[in-house]
Amino acid sequence: MSQSPISESYALTSVDVALPPMERFEEYLQAKGKRITQPRRILVEHVFSKHEHFDADALIEELAQRDAGPKRVSRPTVYRTLNELVEAGLLRKMDIGGRAVYEHDYGYPDHDHLYCTQCGDLSEFHSEELVRLRDAVAREQGFRVTGHKFIVNGTCLDCQRKSRRQKRKVDLI
């Protein structure tokens, strides 16, 4: 999924973390009585080597292209490890367009999304006004906020421009 640039007033800031994602995941696994296997290590390194939204199928395809042979990460291991990464607080799972999409959660600031229902573009933004509104509503209701997911569905500027373009005879073929 691509990400459109967002204005500086809504841009995300960096967050400092005490441990790198791999060490944080190892701590989580140890607490659960599990160990870090080579396939888990490959998967975590790949997921945290770049920041992008992804689904399990895209991840499986990327890993298959990257790692052929005995170090290959199996489909069940991918699904199981993604769930563990969510439980460990390293990834966030969102339902977008009827499928599970993952993004970094650990070491990444709270943010929200604009989702283009036509092309699948997913843009991140942060809004202090939205946080203040959320907190005010929660306070009024005596509600303790532990987080939120806000996804605005709509049509991105590029898709709007494409739909406004006049149809040509060649488009009808």
CA gap 101, 54 in Å, rounded: 5
Q: Is 104 known as a binding-site position? A: no
Going by C-alpha positions, the residue among 33, 44, 39, 30 that lies closest to residue 85 is 44
Torsion of CA 78, 79, 85, 86, to 10 degrees: 150
Q: Is 126 known as a binding-site position? A: no
Q: Is 116 known as a binding-site position? A: yes
Q: Is 105 known as a binding-site position? A: no
Q: Is 159 known as a binding-site position? A: yes
Residue with tokens 């052929």: 68
Annotated binding site for Fe cation: 112, 148
Annotated binding site for Zn(2+): 116, 119, 156, 159
Annotated binding site: 112, 116, 119, 148, 156, 159
